[in-house]
Each structure stands twice: as C-alpha cells, then as structure tokens.
Amino acid sequence: MCIKRLKLLRAFLLALGLILLFSVSGFPQLTISEETPPTSCGNKLLTGITCSGGYCDNISPICGSVIRNIYDIRWSGFVSEEGTAVANCNVPNPFEKGDWPTGEPAFITGLSCNGSNCDRVALECVALRDAFPESLGGGSCRWTSWVSEETPTLRFPAGFGAIRMECKGKYCDDKRFFVCPIRAR
C-alpha cells in the first residue's frame, strides 16, 4: 500500500514539474491553427510569435514572464487580408471612465484563428489593473517587422506589449504587431 502511494506521489510530482516547465517564460506554448482551439498566455502578455507551415498556418505564442493583474478580457473580431486587416485591442475601463471613448488600449495575451491556413485571426485582449500602454499612437509606440514562415520568429522589444495586429498576403500570411511601452498605473 505504501509503495502504491509513493508511486502516485511520484507521478503527481512529475506531472506538476512538467506543468511548471511549460509555463516558463519563452517556452513555446500551444501552437494554434484552424484545427485547434484558441491559445492564451493567461495572465502574462504576448511577447512575440513563431510561425510555421505554409502561409504561417501554425502560430505559437511567446509569453512573457511577468504575471499581470487583469480586470477585463475580451476577444477582438476576426481579421484577414480580404477585409479589415487590422485587429485592435480595446477594453472598457470601469476605473478610468471617459479617457478613451471606445475603451482603453488593451494588451494581447492570446490568439485564435479559423479558415484555411489560419486565414482569419482574432486576438485575446486584456486590460490590466497594474499597467497600461504608455502612449497610444505616440512616438514611443511602433510597428514591429513582419513575421511569416519565411522569417519565423518575432520577439517584441523588452518592456513593450502588443495592442494591435495587422496582416497582409494570401491567407493573412504576414503579420506584424503595434507595440507600446508597458507603464505602471
């Protein structure tokens, strides 16, 4: 009986160790495509992505290491190069009413896609109690370079979070992000 319990405890500790290993910053998270459910960094911000497969069919988020205090989570609509090619993250802010008419800029923490080759992409957007994008549209915010399977990995500058994504090319192949400095509230 005691040996059985030790084996169960050992299996539990091994599973717990694997869970912790997969949650370490920068370790590849669940890869998404149109065949998979959405993926999220949870209470950590997206700090980049990796693309693989034809037309960037498989997207792997790169998650930050800082745990954030989230007060609201919303999903953007799906975007593609055939229509609106830019997805914005905005979330109503009950704490600072009126400072952003359509809601305050929110950070990206997850991705979802549907359609052939992950053609349409939606963003998981979070508003934080402890931080905000420093300057929406100001000189400190900027577009990243483009990422696709030909240039498969994109990491945002340290201290920046993404608030918008744009795509171009067949099946929304090339993606870039609008990133802003993360500032404490």
Identify the burial level of 35 via C-beta atoms within 10 angstroms of its C-beta, where 0-12 means exposed, 13-18 middle and 19 or more buried: exposed
Q: What pLDDT is recorded for position 20?
A: 41
Q: What pLDDT is recorded for position 105?
A: 83
pTM, to two decimals: 0.79
Assess contact for 181 and 134: CB atoms under 8 A: yes
Could you tell me how far CA 90 lies from the centroid of its own chain? 14
Annotated domain spans of the chain: 25-184
The gap between the terminal CA atoms of the chain, to the nearest Å, is 54
Residue-wise pLDDT tens digits, 48-104 = 999 999 999 999 999 999 999 998 899 999 999 988 899 999 877 655 554 444 567
Strands 174-184 and 160-168: antiparallel
Q: What pLDDT is recorded for position 172?
A: 92
Residue-wise pLDDT tens digits, 128-172 = 988 888 865 566 899 999 999 999 999 999 999 999 999 999 999
Assess contact for 46 and 162: CB atoms under 8 A: yes
